[in-house]
Amino acid sequence: MYRFPNWPVVGVVACLTWVAAALPTVALAQDWPQWMGPQRDNVWRESGIVDKFPAGGPPVLWRTPIAGGYAGPAVAQGRVFITDYVTADNVKVDNFERAEFSGMERVLCLSEDSGEVLWKHEYPVRYTVSYPAGPRCTPCVEEDRVYTLGAEGHLFCFHVADGRILWQKDLKETYQTKAALWGYSAHPLIDGDRLLTLAGGEGSHVVALDKRTGAEIWRASDSPETGYSPPTIIEYAGVRQLILLQPNAVVSLDADSGQKLWSVPYEASNGSIIMSPIRVGEYLYVAGYNNRSLLLKLQADQPGATEVWRDKRNVICPVNVQPFVIDDVVYGMDQKGVLRAVQVPSGERLWESDESIGTRPAGSETTFLVRHEDRFIMFNELGELLIAELSPAGYEEIDRAKVIEPSNVAFGRKVVWSMPALANRRAYIRNDQEIICVDLAAK
């Protein structure tokens, strides 16, 4: 070790203090271990991120070939986890029917630094779902385990390091049901010692499984269809409430026991209910396809909710993208293909913009929103990363860069409908041909 020659201790300390003060403050890097990030809230809490993209766009550090899918990546412990579907069938179709397709679902573990495949697991799957490009659910990583859920209900728990199967469950077989029209799409949620996932079937719309063994702890709720809305936990009225947005109701369960607390009827068109319920202060907002919206006021003294308004026009009814809340304003992509800001509880639309997509607004157009400090990092279906500011006053774009090609189809146009992971000052982005690592560190 180097020693300061003949320097008094006080001089060494003063020198080191000066050096430390001169160094820039650097936040620790942060993983993205599940859907919507570490706290499942679509907030990226790292510093040292670019304010604008460099000329020519942000550098791509590596590319790894993969097959089809809508599932976003998870990044944890120096690894990237992604799922896909390998098939010789033409699955680039935006059908609304249950045609059959045969192929292999895969779980891939890549090196975060190089994109090298460290391990993989594959298993045969016959798809009977619409939009059959591949799996939908982002892997979920906790400690030495990674959980994946395939489009036809194959639920796995793998060992992170080597891909050993710790347990597995076929949800369709176990709960005597079938996949929803667009497949199993509700990202599972870890809650303490439990893994919560939508299963479907009689009395088992949601199930709580032991996260280490896969053994069932409880099952709860009936629904005519499974739907696609991920399980969401809020704390209100002194109770941890598991909120389920079913195709026929908004349901609250005791998160520990699965016991029903309250329910409010809701009618989802074509069973299409996708967003997670979002809390805005004392209100709960849900919405889905065909302008089906509902605002509830939560009871403060005991678990319960009352309707404030329903099916209000010109609010945000998302189909692919989770809305974001700042104070009393909800920002998000409406089914119309535009970005909107809506105030709660009035339901007043503050503004509407199609700039996040570009020049082709159309139904179900998609831009994913992640907040970073006082701005948003966004990714649209054209394969573009955007930096923008969203406020009650409007949308202000700072920069955009094309980083990947849209490789699937929807409503006759080319799209990429997969949410990136933002981790360790990088963006991990996939289409149906490759996954790439994009450097977003400020230089």
45-63, pLDDT tens digit by residue?
999 999 999 999 999 999 9
pLDDT at 357: 82
Res 122 pLDDT > 50: yes
Euclidean distance between CA atoms 231 and 400, whole angstroms = 33
Mean pLDDT of 173-192: 96
* 54 upstream amide cis, omega within 30 of 0: no
**To the nearest whole percent, how much of the chain has pLDDT over 90?**
83
| Angle formed at CA 35 by CA 281 and CA 26, multiple of 5 degrees | 85
Beta bridge partners of 414: 409
pLDDT at 363: 78
Q: Assign 10 to helix, strand or coil.
A: helix
Q: Minimal CA–CA distance to 411: which of 348, 337, 340?
A: 337
Euclidean distance between CA atoms 100 and 295, whole angstroms = 38
Strands 292-298 and 232-236: unpaired
Residues 29 and 425 sit within 8 Å (Cβ to Cβ): yes
Using the CB atoms, write b or e for 197-236: b if 16+ within 10 Å. Answer: bbbbbeebbbbbbebeebeebbbbbebebbbbbbbbebeb
Residues 206 and 231 sit within 8 Å (Cβ to Cβ): yes
Res 3 pLDDT > 50: no
Res 9 pLDDT > 60: no
Q: Minimal CA–CA distance to 39: which of 150, 230, 159, 190?
A: 190
3-state secondary structure 137-197: CCCEEECCEEEEECCCCEEEEEECCCCCEEEEEEHHHHCCCCCCCCCCCCCCEEECCEEEE
Mean pLDDT of 255-262: 98
Distance of CA 143 to the CA centre of its chain: 20
Half-sphere exposure of 68 toward its Cβ, with a 13 Å CA cutoff? 22
Mean pLDDT of 123-146: 97
Res 231 pLDDT > 50: yes
pLDDT at 361: 63
User: What confidence tier does 23 reach under pLDDT thresholds 50, 70, 90?
Assistant: very low
Mean pLDDT of 202-215: 98
Which tops the pLDDT comparison, 296 or 363? 296
Mean pLDDT of 174-185: 96
pLDDT at 273: 85
The model's pLDDT over 287-343, given as tens digits with 9 standing for 90+, comes to 998 889 999 999 999 999 999 999 999 999 998 899 999 999 999 999 988 999 999
For residue 175, report the phi and psi dihedrals to the nearest 5 degrees. -110, 15
Res 7 pLDDT > 80: no
pLDDT at 145: 98
The DSSP result for 235-260, as a single string, is EETTEEEEEEE-SSEEEEEETTT--E
Q: Which residue has the tokens 């503004």?
A: 351
pLDDT at 343: 98
Res 356 pLDDT > 90: no
Q: Minimal CA–CA distance to 402: which of 417, 422, 386, 388?
A: 386
pLDDT at 4: 33
Across all residues in the chain, what is the average pLDDT?
Answer: 92
CB neighbours (10 Å) of residue 5?
5
Contacts of 424 (CB under 8 A, 6+ apart): 29, 30, 31, 46, 75, 112
User: What confidence tier does 28 reach under pLDDT thresholds 50, 70, 90?
Assistant: low
The DSSP result for 24-75, as a single string, is PP-PPP--B-STTTTTTSSB-----B-SSPPTT-SPEEEEEE--B--PPPEE
The model's pLDDT over 383-437, given as tens digits with 9 standing for 90+, comes to 999 999 999 999 999 999 999 999 999 988 999 999 999 999 999 999 999 999 9
Q: Which residue has the tokens 């403050």?
A: 25
Res 13 pLDDT > 50: no
Res 265 pLDDT > 90: yes
Beta bridge partners of 415: 408
Distance of CA 41 to the CA centre of its chain: 9
CB neighbours (10 Å) of residue 244?
28
